[in-house]
Structure 1
Amino acid sequence: MRARVWGCRGSVAAPGADTVRYGGNTSCLEVQLESGHTLVLDAGTGMRALGVAMEDEHPKELHILLTHLHLDHLQGLGFFRPLFRPDLDVHVWGPASPVQGLEERIAIYLSPPLFPVRLGDIPARLTFHDAPEEAVSIGSATVRAAKVTHQGPTVGYRIEEGGRVLVYLPDHEPSLGVHLRDQPTAWMSGYDVARDADILFHDAQYGDDEYPHHVGWGHSCIEHALAFARKADVGMVVLFHHDPYHNDDELEVLLAEARRQWDGTEERVCLAHEGLKVVLDASGVRLTA
């Protein structure tokens, strides 16, 4: 299994001279399976560049796994060039809602006046699915989702292949103002889907001093992201969903604090950045720029 970060910013894209090291595009993670299948986790603005990179490829099938439908996780969908290929089967997965189906909710964004192309006019063959709470097979991997604490219907994803596990929880507030050391795991949002993961991409939008002003907003601070990772006994944490108001230097201050809290082990805590690549195989987990 191979993964690549195409966007890791939260809330709104933040391009600029002071965000070039970590990137300004919003959430999008590509996962390539041994079977040749491609999974795209979230459709933030980083999805546009992924679509350009895929122009010379001609997959017959693609899976888009949406954690939720906030605009920063959906805005790249209409600019994803593979969707304009009529020979492509695209399976779109996302959180269930008692109010509307997934297709109807996405169509609110992909329709005038918000977007010039209607969802129903996209040439690719689209099939919509509720995020699977029981494991399903996609190519050589098994995938399952779990509801997590955020604003509105939201899920996290667990992808297992060849004995390795990647978990993606980009928008997640497991603490809700209560320190996780005081919470039993049975009551902890996201624990079951994240436990024993080899690598966890987790929300770390706020510094620890910022979080008290944002309790209930649906995001984590450094301390809570790491406490969750410890509870879930994950091997490596990739801090994700960077605040749009944090520049590169500020993010590196947060990274230093995260590594201090994790006993200084650089190999187990890192910051997501655009272009970060991950390989999970029998030998372990490897990161490359």
Structure 2
Amino acid sequence: TGIRNLGLALPTDITRLNILLTHLHLDHIQGLVFFEPLFRSQAEIVIWGPASPQASLRDRIARYISAPLSPVEVRELPCDVSFRACPEELEIGSARITAAPVAHRGPTLGYRVEDVGAALAYIPDHEPALGADLEMLEPEWISGFGLAQGADLLIHDGQYADDEYAEHLGWGHSALSHSLTFAQRTEARRTVLFHHDPLHSDRWLDAHAERAAAAWQARGGAAGTVELAREGARYEVDPATGEFALAEEAVAGGVAEDTSVPAPITSVAGR
């Protein structure tokens, strides 16, 4: 749903857009029909996503963007929109993108985006510990390892506390210790824990953020390099160092609080 506010915040003179979908579960596509650039007649939008033997990407998304779930259908969108199964590697502008299947329910991709000397890994729905000991596995057997290895910013599933995981085994999401082990094994430079459980209150999440930071430092991790994703947070990369930093400004309520041009790699991470 965060894509709605992003669409409202994008300058109207941006006419070419690429959207990378990890998978088609409803919580990852329900904001599409409210993405304002889809209703700009001058916009050219390419939507990338996982291939499936069942149907094309367009047909699968059209099941949602159609009656009775949507007041408009794909064929009625004013923009020039196309749907493409994402290959293992592609280039969009100056960015090199790597896509690979990851452990989740149904066809699901994780992404690695490399540009201006920095790498961002985006694996929001991920259960790499399912039936495996992440501490002991060889790297080539760890789901998503190649995507996240040495990433300057890793945005990764961290839905559950450790004591919640047993009740959700096989649901496709990670417990805190799994997320931290994954970040440690891949040597990610900075990690943002994503895909918060909707049953967790903001107060619970604040306490969980403290637990995550303490657990990370207990593993020898640097302070301030593990945090929880926040609605509207924006991370900008320093091309000189490849380091991502949390920008002071945020995208909230559909309006960007600043009008500066974002860095080449900008990630909007939400709840």
Identity of aligned pairs, percent? Answer: 48
Whether 1:274 aligns to 2:254 is no
Note the alpha carbon deviations across 1:251-273, whole angstroms, 9 max, x for none. 12221221122116332101110
Q: Write the distance in 2 (CA, Å) between the matches of 1:266 and 1:238.
A: 13
Q: Which amino acid aligns with 1:282?
A: A
Q: CA deviation at 1:288?
A: 2.5
Q: Determine whether 1:161 maps to 2:115.
A: yes
Instruction: Please give the per-residue CA displacement for 1:21-50, whole angstroms capped at 9, x wherever unaligned.
Output: xxxxxxxxxxxxxxxxxxxxxxxx111111
- Partners in 1 of 2:111 and 2:124 — Cα distance? 10
Which position in structure 2 is the counterpart of 1:52? 8
Equivalent residue for 2:210?
256
1:227 — aligned with what?
181
Is contact 2:104-2:126 (8 Å) kept?
yes
Kindly provide the amino acid, as one letter, of the partner of residue 106 in structure 2: G
Amino acid at match of 2:244: V
Match of 2:60 among 74, 84, 105: 105
Runs of 4 or more off by more than 2 Å in structure 1?
none
- CA deviations on 1:189-212 (whole Å, 9 max, x unpaired) are 100111110010000000010011
CA contact (8 A) 2:213 2:224 kept: no
Encode CA deviations 1:134-174: one digit per residue, 9 max, x unaligned: x2111111112110010100001110002100010000000
Task: Indicate whether 1:62 and 2:17 are aligned.
Answer: yes
Structure 2: gaps of 5 or more residues: 249-271
What are the residue-to-residue correspondences of 1:208-247 with 2, within 5 Å?
208-247=162-201
Q: Give SS of 1:266's match.
A: coil
One-letter code aligned to 1:127: S
CA deviation vs aligned residue, 1:103-159 (integer Å, no higher than 9, x gap) = 0000000111111211111111111111221x2111111112110010100001110
- Relative to the length of structure 1, the TM-score reads 0.81
CA distance in 2, matches of 1:210, 1:179: 18
| Alignment match, 2:40 | 85
Asked if 1:193 corresponds to 2:122, the answer is no
Deviation at 1:249, TM superposition (A): 1.3
Structure 1 stretches lacking a partner, 5+ long:
1-44
Counterpart Cα distance in 2 of 1:256 and 1:91:
39
Secondary structure at 1:189's aligned position in 2? Answer: coil
Verify the 8 A CA contact 1:146 1:190 in the aligned structure 2. yes
Query: How many aligned residue pairs are there?
Result: 243
User: CA–CA distance in 1 between the matches of 2:71 and 2:246?
Assistant: 39
Question: What one-letter code is carried by the residue in structure 2 that aligns with 1:273?
Answer: R
Counterpart of 1:268, as a letter, is: T
For residue 119 of structure 1, the aligned residue among 74, 79, 82 is 74
Measured after TM superposition, the shift of residue 175 of structure 1 is 0.5
Residue 247 (structure 2) aligns with: 288
Task: Give the Cα–Cα distance (whole angstroms) in 2 for the partners of residues 268 and 160 of structure 1.
Answer: 20
What secondary structure, in the 3-state scheme, does the structure 2 residue paired with 1:180 have?
Answer: coil
